[in-house]
Amino acid sequence: CSRDWSSDVCSSDLLLCYSLLTRAALGPEGERVSVLRLFRVQLSTKALGSIMPAGSAASSALGYRLLTLSGVHGPDAGFALATAGIGSAVVLNLILWFGLIVSIPFRGVNALYGFAAIVGVILMLVASALIFGLVEGQGRAERAVRWLARHVRLDADRISEVIRHLGNRLEGLIADRQLLIRVFVWASANWIFDMAAVYVFLRAFGGHLAIDGLIVAFGLANVMAVVPITPGGLGIIEGIYIPTIIGFGMSRAPATVGILTYRLAQL
């Protein structure tokens, strides 16, 4: 019972941390929305993303709609969702790379490590390009968006205003050291509690896993989960977790049952 309770606490804290991450990214606009409401928004978007293929797009649209209905201005809602997503992805890749640096000298190299690292690098490059485009290349980004808007018959002036607002918000975020620290702390806590939940489920079924193995398996599974093939990464995450954990020395039975039970509880 205590282990089940610990798993529920870790899962709840995971969602709460992501809610607080989004609130930090909202900046002053975060005062418009209570933490409880943000928690409910996070539950709704997480649930939608877990039942739809490529659910991240649908859950982002739902999150945007729920935030604007809660009184947050549209550009600020979009900025907060993007910042939370990018910040969370960056921290996840740092966790994975830390695990690989610790693990590879002692356990050798696996082909999956390189593939996941490449996916992580691509994500980091995309995030860097977006940040650079909004901060250093606003003029070019605005011209490109205006060109695209004219071809799809959208309000180019309105979209350009949004681009300028996002660029200004991003510059403010980069300049605000305390806000950056809050975003990093809540993004880190989000993944750490999720990793703790995995560990608790494995331990509940008698599994023993070294910390480097836990970090690498967790990082690989969640980095690969960004590939939008199945709802909530169903089948992909389990297909990476279980053989990776077994490769780190855990018996097949506790690894399989622990991960499947964790994913069932998560979904």
CA 54: distance to chain centroid?
Answer: 14
User: What pLDDT is attached to residue 94?
Assistant: 85
| DSSP letter, residue 225 | T
CA 64: distance to chain centroid?
Answer: 16
CA distance 228 to 263: 17
Q: Which two tokens stand for residue 159?
A: 């979209």
Q: What angle do CA 114, 120, 122 make, to 5 degrees?
A: 105
CA distance 226 to 237: 10
Phi, psi angles (nearest 5°) of residue 70? -85, 0
CA distance 49 to 36: 20
Please state the pTM of the whole predicted model. Answer: 0.72
Average pLDDT value over all residues in the chain: 75
CB atoms under 10 Å from CB of 247, counted, come to 15
Question: Does residue 137 sit in helix, strand or coil?
Answer: coil
Q: Which two tokens stand for residue 33?
A: 């929305």
User: What pLDDT is attached to residue 200?
Assistant: 92
List per-residue pLDDT tens for the chain, 267 residues long. 444 445 555 556 677 888 888 888 887 777 778 889 989 998 898 888 888 776 677 788 888 889 889 888 877 787 788 778 777 888 888 888 888 787 777 666 665 566 656 666 666 666 566 555 555 545 555 555 555 555 555 555 555 555 555 555 565 566 667 877 888 888 888 899 899 999 999 999 998 888 888 998 898 888 877 666 777 778 888 888 998 898 888 899 999 999 999 988 888
User: What pLDDT is attached to residue 195?
Assistant: 92
pLDDT in tens, 122-173: 666 665 665 555 555 455 555 555 555 555 555 555 555 555 555 555 655 6
